[in-house]
Amino acid sequence: MGGVSTDTHTPDQVRRLVEVAELLAREAGALILDGRRRHVSVAATKSSAQDVVTAMDLASEALLRRRLAELRPDDGILGEEEGFQAGSSGVTWVVDPIDGTVNYLYGLPAYAVSVAAVVGPPEPATWTALAGCVHAPEDGRVFTAGRGLGARLEGRTLRVNPARPLIDSLLGTGFGYTATRRRSQARIVAELLPRVRDIRRVGSAALDLCTLAAGGLDLYYERGLQPWDMAAGALVAQEAGAQVTGLRGHPAQEAMTVAGPPGRVGELIGLLEALEADSDE
């Protein structure tokens, strides 16, 4: 992902960005966990009536923006709910205030705050991620990664599983919210399911990528990821040894994101390309 040099950032500077990412993810995590214990209401819908935004998505992003303005006033911000605000430092924070909003709405624990610092044009195909944190407040997990510094889950260095034959591989994936997208995603699942150990749909792309990094999935693919869904999780996966890429020689982006150990990703890519999983037909 990305081709912009990170030479301008020393390991210490990257470490500092990781610390900020973790601090903010923890603060927003505490806010949404507290909100979950009270009352969760739908504030708006997005791509379809099922694609919801809760009042806590908005409050969590407001907190992240306010804290970034205090701690990193020269940096830009790209957030799921309020869009892009340019900065002057070259660093952009890409934030998902609640990844897994439907889980959050239903009281299912697989939701997370995702905070990443990137340089370069703020799109997955062009940015270089420097630092990231994904925090799941229900169980307290904190995944962090710094470019070139590895990926960690509470001090433990993460490593993806070694490449396994596809038939022995546990795959993670996710679905979009529109009927057209889902019809084609269901077709791909129907083709893949007989060829793999099993498929999981957890409901948070950020946690899927971190789970892969920690060995809880062998492979992951998803069409339709937004920049904030993948920014921190993809760095965690990469720093744990995963290849994170797209189809047909493209980088990971909205059209398709595939992740896993380098020795096995190619086979999944070949299958997804043959099935035209990057189209909604």
> Which residue, 14 or 214, is less far from ligand LIP as judged by CB?
214
Q: In the chain, how many H helices and how many E strands?
A: 7, 15
Query: For residue 264, how many C-alpha atoms fall within 13 Å in the half-sphere facing its CB?
Result: 23
> Which residue, 108 or 166, is less far from ligand LIP as judged by CB?
108
- Hey, what are 57's tokens? 């998505």
Please name the residue that has the structure tokens 């995963």.
242
User: Quick one: which of 22, 81, 96, 239 contacts ligand LIP (CB under 6 A)?
Assistant: 96
User: Quick one: which of 22, 99, 218, 239 contacts ligand LIP (CB under 6 A)?
Assistant: 99
> Which residue, 6 or 48, is less far from ligand LIP as judged by CB?
48
User: Quick one: which of 124, 146, 174, 227 contacts ligand LIP (CB under 6 A)?
Assistant: 174
Taking the C-alpha atoms of residue 273 and residue 57, their distance in angstroms, rounded to an integer, is 34
For the bound state, the minimum distance from the C-beta of residue 103 to ligand LIP, rounded and expressed in Å, comes to 7
> Which residue, 144 or 173, is less far from ligand LIP as judged by CB?
173
Does residue 205 belong to the site contacting ligand LIP (CB under 6 A)? yes
Q: How far is CA 16 from CA 74, 81, 117, 132, in A?
A: 15, 26, 11, 11
Helix axes 55-71, 11-37, angle to 10 degrees: 150
The CB density around residue 169, as the number of other CB atoms within 10 Å, is 22
Binding flags for ligand LIP, 54-83, as an x/- string (CB under 6 A): --------------------------x---
Residues 100-119 within binding reach of ligand LIP (CB under 6 A): 100-101
Cα–Cα nearest to 14, from 183, 129, 139: 129
Which spans of this chain sit near ligand LIP (rule: CB under 6 A)? 80, 96, 99-101, 174-176, 203-205, 224, 229
